[in-house]
Amino acid sequence: MLTATDPSTGKLLHEVPAATSAQVEDILSRAETAFKSWRTRSYNERAEVLLKVAKLMRDDVDRLAILMTEEMGKPIKEARAEVIKSAWCAEHYAENAEAYLQPQTLGSDATLSYVQHLPLGVILGILPWNAPFWLAFRYAAPTLMAGNTCVMKHDPHVPACAQAIADLFVQVGAPADIFQNLPLETPAVEAVIRDKRIQAVSFTGSEKGGGAVASIAASEIKHSVLELGGSDPCIVLADANLDEAADIITLSRIINAGQSCIAAKRIIVEASVYDSLVEKVHERLARLKMGDPREESTDIGPIARSDLRDNLHRQVAASVDAGARCLLGGEMPDGPGYFYPVTLLVDVTESMVASCEETFGPVAVIMKAENEEQAIAIANNSDYGLAAAVWTRADRGEAIARRLEVGQVAVNGIVKTDPRLPSGGIKRSGMGRELGPHGIREFVNAQQVWIGPKQGS
């Protein structure tokens, strides 16, 4: 049974039966059958479907947004923005997939030799709860435009979001079964990964979950793309615009109540401007309003589940016990729901829990570095390598980016995902890339074609 709970109240919303073995078999069979036809469609025909879905999302944004607010607590203004961003992703790939997948002519001893990009088949998407629409379209839009079909296993806590996403394709009259929702409890996913009809897997979620998925897929000689956790550093050097840095750090840290893999997790500040940056961030965090995510004025909604909130509080308490100073928040609130206050921890060191582990909530962690070299060393001292930000002169920041052990760097700006640009991590933050031209090439057969007769001697 898939159970959705309103995290703002702790009350049960609804329960959805998990798919039976017979239903799983039917979904996979129909996805394979749909692929045989979908792969033959032109890019224009595929694009027409994606553009219709995007238009429907834009037209129906309020209905779709509230599903996220109810099931995982995203503030309604952020939920609307997520629906619109998802529509943009569909539009982007509808408009650019053909160019991204153009055959590449390569010189050889052939009369003509080139690489063409062909679809693989049925691609399984295993998705988390924190961005239900965006992560679905980040996986599905490039996968479908490449000519594959999609089977989406969404998080068990957002079943209404998952079904609404699948229903969009039905509502626009898309070819049957090119995108299907597979409502499953997590233990049942292994058998689906191993099914011979699944050709590859896209996974977004925890490091532990990603390791399990990659291991299972590899044992079946199947490709997987993993976007996992992050403990993203944000370096602020003495020559930075501190007001702009504080504005963006605050925004990055509290989007989705801090429940974002690419949020600024470790704010590493050069000593000479440390106190000033702390003051500016404290001032901005203190102004934020925590409350009912349905209210337009709410900045911070609840944590998605009670166990996640408990773990977040453990991280805060352990860091304070180890010597961090808590300047804001840090106390478990009374009352219904899974709310956690905006929290500011300063004087955090590399051995503390808040630095070593990913903090998934509205907790800002500020660390001091004596200079640029130490800031880079602290930033790289992590098992994760998802993304990073640097605040300094543009040319200096660009040089620092080459030295950071992450898959994505923003210089004087916010780390974000963008359909036009590849995103992904190294180390324990994952493997492969999503979005941009790199993302759509993850799930294709890069087929080499050699056409004779042989040329030359």
Known catalytic residues are 227, 261
Report cis status (omega within 30 of 0) of the bond before 453.
yes
Which residues, 6 or more positions from 96, have their beta carbon under 8 angstroms from its beta carbon?
Answer: 437
Which residues, 6 or more positions from 457, have their beta carbon under 8 angstroms from its beta carbon?
Answer: none
C-beta of residue 151 within 8 angstroms of C-beta of residue 183: no
Go through 260-296 and write b for each residue having 16 or more CB atoms within 10 A of its CB, e for each that does not.
bbbbbbbbbbbeebbeebbebbbebbeebebbbbeee
C-beta of residue 216 within 8 angstroms of C-beta of residue 248: no
What is the C-alpha radius of gyration for the chain, rounded to an integer number of angstroms?
23
> Helices 132-145 and 43-59 sit at what angle, rounded to 10 degrees?
160
In whole angstroms, what is the distance from residue 413 CA to residue 230 CA? 18
In whole angstroms, what is the distance from residue 321 CA to residue 315 CA? 10
Which residues, 6 or more positions from 3, have their beta carbon under 8 angstroms from its beta carbon?
Answer: 12, 14, 15, 16, 156, 157
**Amino acid in position 328:** L
C-beta of residue 434 within 8 angstroms of C-beta of residue 140: no
| The three-state (H, E, C) secondary structure of 212-257, written as one string | HHHHHHHHCCCEEEEECCCCCEEEECCCCCHHHHHHHHHHHHHHHH
Max Cα–Cα distance, the chain, nearest Å:
82
In whole angstroms, what is the distance from residue 430 CA to residue 432 CA? 7
C-beta of residue 439 within 8 angstroms of C-beta of residue 422: yes
Residue 408 DSSP label: -
